[in-house]
Structure 1
Amino acid sequence: MPVLVLDAGNALFKSRDSGEAPDARSRAELLLAQMDAQGTTAMAVGARDLVLGVDFLRKQTKKSKMKLLSANLADAQGKLLFPASLVTEVGGLKVGVVGLSPATPGPVPMEPQAKGRGAGVTMQGLPLQPAVTAEVKRLREQSKVDVVLLLAAVPWVEVSKLADVVEGVDFVLPSHEGRGTGIAQRQGLTTLLPPGDRGRQLARLELSVDGPGRFVDNSEPLRAKENVRLLDTTLAKARERLQATTEPAAKKNLTEAIASLEVRRASLQKTAGEGATPSPRTHLLSYIQLGEDVRADPVVQKLVERIEPPGSAAH
């Protein structure tokens, strides 16, 4: 099965103020090297990736196959600091991947001031919507991509606003807050995908593209069937209570509740039944929990232990 590996960003440092930690640089270098070695195609540039500055990121990925993306991170003159997007072919599909960084209210230092470098050199996070809209339009009209993925290393509230107005984006993977796992959430004209939290989970999105149209969530019919089963149990208990009740007010309340549950059941049953009708475009989100049951690579384990020795507070 063809696979595309992506990272939504904010992956390199524990927090924005962790750059002075003794192991900060070596941790970030190891993460970037391993992401490249494991075939990651692209990563969005998030706030927690910029702790050691733009120059650090550029140098560490200069010979890397993995591309750092940001459609709105620019220098003082408005020139983008990283590519806005890339186009790659996966399983016969042309996939456009766009990166997005947080917008800033004004210029911010491009390099960490504590290092005494880059004084006066600034960068800016340009407004999100115009940057995404322009890049997605270019990908759709000029590159003729089949699917567009947005790696959004921006706050959730901004992701939500974008989803309501942006067109042409099939899926958004946010990373600014650690939101863990969840279900695919249809919002506006796109679908938001929780990508997991701080490397503890690996999100897996399976796509089937056999024609045009919007993507349909293959998990919706499965969840609907489970909810129908649970609702049937609730309805059975409510009907038993109705038969045993003689008090008029209680009978009225139970009758109304049962009617409402039956309407809900009919809606769920329809959703469950729609799963039997093939859709030209479907998606299915699942997660691989990276715990003790997932074997560690011995070589990578040794590299990690050089930075975080067994028994240390960080290990």
Structure 2
Amino acid sequence: MLVLDAGNALFKSRDSGEAPDARARAELLLAQMDAQGTVAMAVGTRDLGLGVDFLRKQTRKSKLKLLSANLVDAQGKLLFPASLVTQVGGFKVGVVGASPEKAAPEAMDPIIKGKAPGMRRGLPVAPAVAAEAKRLRAQEHVDLVVLLAAVPYDDVLKLANDLEGVDFVLQSHEGRGSGIPQRVGMTTLLQPGERGRQIAKVELTVNGPGRFMDISEQSRAKDQLRLVESNLARAKERIAQATDPAQKGALESAVASLEARRTALQKTAAEGATPAPRTHLLSYIQLGPDVPGDPVVQKAVERIEPPGSAGH
């Protein structure tokens, strides 16, 4: 099992690092992510509320690694590792992190009176990620590449269309919650849940080369195919009964559209007839009141957000 976080996890908003409980909250989250075996997290806008130095100090001795292939200092040097390689189930997995692009320099850490702050900026995401994915494939010989993209959703869609060498993209920025996998270009975009309300669980089967096939896509196609065929049968019955030429023409147009849709769904459903060498299946674990909490962690949370407080 490989536990990852797409970033934007530590603060409620870009500016909430100034809140009285911000440091304690971020320290607790980082400590618990490390304790629960999180291997890597991308550095997002809502992780930088207390600055780069804070993040480095808090994770210096932890197994959790913070990643960003495009967040650099004034000299263009990376502030965090671009990627890491880990072994999971006998396979080498490369994990790349990405932060939002930001051409204008920003202060690296909270401003202290009388001290000139270091500056940071976000390089263009696409070339930074593409170069790192290529390096992981060529030099590290990884079997799988996952991108943790702590960048806006629209930017990820543009990026993924031309992205090579990345199998999966886990995106965070707006808190989009759960969703179905999206094939975009040569990669698959996954929503990892938001605000600790869900855990996205992706089960992979790797028995050969090629791109990953979504097991649930065939299942959804079969369900939709049954619905289309039912609608098609009803439309044909109505054509047989129609006497008005205009109505009949409209129904014939609808039948043609349904038949085209049926053909597309049949093709998708048939792709699952022969087992693919690489498959993925996405599901979500909802972390509601039916999931028991850890008493020790609960006490630590309540010290920061007491029961009955606005944030609890």
TM-score range, shorter chain: over 0.9
What SS is found at the alignment partner of 2:229?
helix
Match of 1:59 in 2: 57
The superposition leaves residues 44-79 of structure 1 with CA deviations (integer Å, 9 ceiling, x where unpaired) of 011110000011101111111000011111111111
- Amino acid of the structure 2 residue aligned with 1:195: P
Aligned to 1:5: 3
**Which stretch has the larger CA shift, 249-258 or 145-154?**
249-258
Matched-pair contact (CA < 8 Å) for 2:109–2:117? no
SS at match of 1:251: helix
Kindly provide the amino acid, as one letter, of the partner of residue 147 in structure 2: L
Aligned to 2:143: 146
User: What is the deviation of 1:117?
Assistant: 7.9
2:194: which partner in 1? 197
Are 1:106 and 2:104 an aligned pair? yes
Paired-residue identity, %: 71
Q: 1:120 to 1:304 in 2, by over 3 A?
A: closer
Paired residues of 1:109 and 1:119 also in contact (CA < 8 A): no
Which residue of structure 1 aligns with residue 226 of structure 2?
Answer: 229
Identify the match of residue 283 of structure 1 among 280, 283, 299.
280
Instruction: Name the SS for the 1:106 alignment partner.
Output: strand
Are 2:205 and 1:208 equivalent residues in the alignment? Answer: yes
Cα deviation, 1:219-241, whole Å, max 9, x if unaligned, reads 11000011012213322332332
2:75 is the alignment partner of 1:96: no
- Taking the aligned partners of 2:126 and 2:245, their CA distance within structure 1 comes to 57
Alpha-carbon shift at residue 155 of structure 1 (Å)? 1.4
Partner of 1:123, secondary structure, is: strand
> 5+ unaligned residues in a row in structure 1: which ranges?
none
Structure 2: gaps (5+ residues): none
**CA positional deviation for 1:242:** 2.2
* Deviation readout 1:233-290 (Å, 9 max, x if unpaired): 3223323322332212212221221132122113212321221211111111111111
Name the aligned partner's letter for residue 263 of structure 2: A
List structure 1 runs of 4+ shifted beyond 3 angstroms.
115-118
CA contact (8 A) 2:18 2:49 kept: no
Structure 2 Cα separation of the partners of residues 118 and 163 of structure 1: 41
| AA at the equivalent of 1:44 | A
Query: Shift of residue 35 of structure 1?
Result: 0.3
Contact 1:156–1:174, Cα closer than 8 Å, also in 2: yes
| Equivalences for residues 47-86 of structure 1 within 5 A | 47-86=45-84
1:311 equivalent to 2:301? Answer no
Query: In 1, distance between residues paired with 2:33 and 2:211?
Result: 31
Within 5 A, what are the aligned runs for 1:127-146? 127-146=124-143
The one-letter amino acid paired with 1:266 is T
User: TM-score when scaled to structure 2?
Assistant: 0.96
Letter in 2 for 1:87: V
Q: Matches of residues 234-313 of structure 1 in structure 2 within 5 Å?
A: 234-313=231-310
- Residue by residue over 1:149-184, the C-alpha shift from the partner in whole angstroms, topping out at 9 and shown as x without a partner, is 000111122211211222111111111111111111
Displacement of 1:89 after TM fit? Answer: 0.6
Please list the CA deviations of residues 15-51 of structure 1 after superposition, one character each: whole Å capped at 9, or x if unmatched: 0111121211111111000000000000001111000
Say how many residue pairs are matched.
312
Alignment-mate amino acid for residue 39 of structure 2? T
Structure 1 stretch displaced more, 97-106 or 144-153: 97-106
Letter aligned with residue 74 of structure 1: V
Taking the aligned partners of 2:278 and 2:206, their CA distance within structure 1 comes to: 5
1:168 maps to: 165
Contact 1:111 1:118 in 2 (8 A): no
> In structure 2, which of residues 23, 29, 36 is the aligned counterpart of residue 31 of structure 1?
29
